[in-house]
Amino acid sequence: MLKGYADHWGLVTGASSGIGAEFSRQLAARGMHLVLVARREDRLRGLAGELEAAHGTRCEIVPADLSQPHAGRDLLAEVSRRGIAIELLVNNAGFGLVSSVEQTDVGRALELIQVNVTGLTELTLLMAQEMVERGHGGIINIGSVVSFQPVGYMGVYAASKAYVLHFSEALWAELRSRGVTVTALCPGTTRTEFFDRSGVPGWAERNWSEDVKTVVSTGLKAFDARRSYVVSGWTNYLLSLAVRLATRATVVNGSMSVFRPRVAPH
């Protein structure tokens, strides 16, 4: 449970674009000071200037590559060196990988696990330990609609998001009576740079998708209600329920058509 938004500090990873930038905007609008984290420092500086001008809140920028081992530990050491206590952590940084097995860049797949799973775990546990000791605080982890099912040609990414959901739910149950709220926000296709950087450019524009404002409002509403998880969008929610009714083989076979590589015309 948060002590409050206004005049407390939040930390948003992946704040340089998409859902993370929108989280930063909506949290600053609630009066929260923010630590903005990502690799693209110029973007973070631009956003910090915008938020400070619009809301009079403070922003600290910490450029960091979360694919590096112990980047989470180093990040929190830097935050504490700056004398900041984090009330809300938003673990949003992440990326996708759409590829057939034989085309998969294995190094990139391991980097994905480092950012989406290992780095998130390090940040979550270190922050949760501090929050439990204090007796208040909150963590929002970004899962996905694919947290609920395996997806052909997107196996590593979908599995990484299944981890995020399960891990978050376990912490929600363990910590909710100790003053700390953990919520997993599971968006469906959302219009950001995500698919352009995941190997399927233009995907979000070609398919039904949500805007970041809706996704983030849904996440914050669920967090305020101390829910363990929320799926953004009714269609996505129904999909997350439907996959429980079919056999696992049916679900994963069905997923194959979504990202199956097109054979180039001769």
Ligand X SMILES: NC(=O)c1ccc[n+]([C@@H]2O[C@H](COP(=O)([O-])OP(=O)(O)OC[C@H]3O[C@@H](n4cnc5c(N)ncnc54)[C@H](OP(=O)(O)O)[C@@H]3O)[C@@H](O)[C@H]2O)c1
Nearer of residues 58 and 197 to ligand X, judged by Cβ: 197
The span of 27-35, 62-70, 172-180, 243-251 binding ligand X (CB under 6 A) equals: 62-70
Residue 172 vs 195, nearer CB to ligand X: 195
Residue 5 designated active-site: no
Using DSSP, state whether 233 is helix, strand or coil: coil
Site residues for ligand X, 168-187, by CB under 6 A, read 187
Of 75, 81, 79, whose CA–CA distance to 59 is shortest? 79
Site string for ligand X, 215-244 (x = CB under 6 A): ------------------------------
Tokens linked to 30: 């609630």
Size of the site for ligand X (CB under 6 A): 29
* Cβ neighbourhood burial of 202 (10 Å; 0-12, 13-18, 19+): exposed
Alpha helices per DSSP H over 57-177: 71-81, 106-113, 120-134, 155-175
Binding of ligand X by 142 (CB under 6 A): yes
Cβ proximity to ligand X: between 133 and 208 the closer is 208
Question: Within positions 1 to 40, which residues make up the interface with ligand X, using CB under 6 A?
Answer: 14, 16-20, 38-40
Does 115 interact with ligand X (rule: CB under 6 A)?
yes
d(CA 66, CA 44): 15
Residue 141 near ligand X by CB under 6 A? no
Q: Which of the residues 5, 157, 163, 229 is marked catalytic?
A: 157
First to last CA, the chain: 59
DSSP one-letter code for 118: I
**Which residues are within 8 A (CB) of 158 and not within 5 positions of it... i.e. 6 or more apart?**
144, 146, 147, 149, 150, 151
Q: Known catalytic residues?
A: 157
Residues lying near ligand X in the complex (CB under 6 A) are found at 14, 16-20, 38-40, 64-67, 92-96, 115, 142, 144, 187, 189-190, 192-194, 197, 204
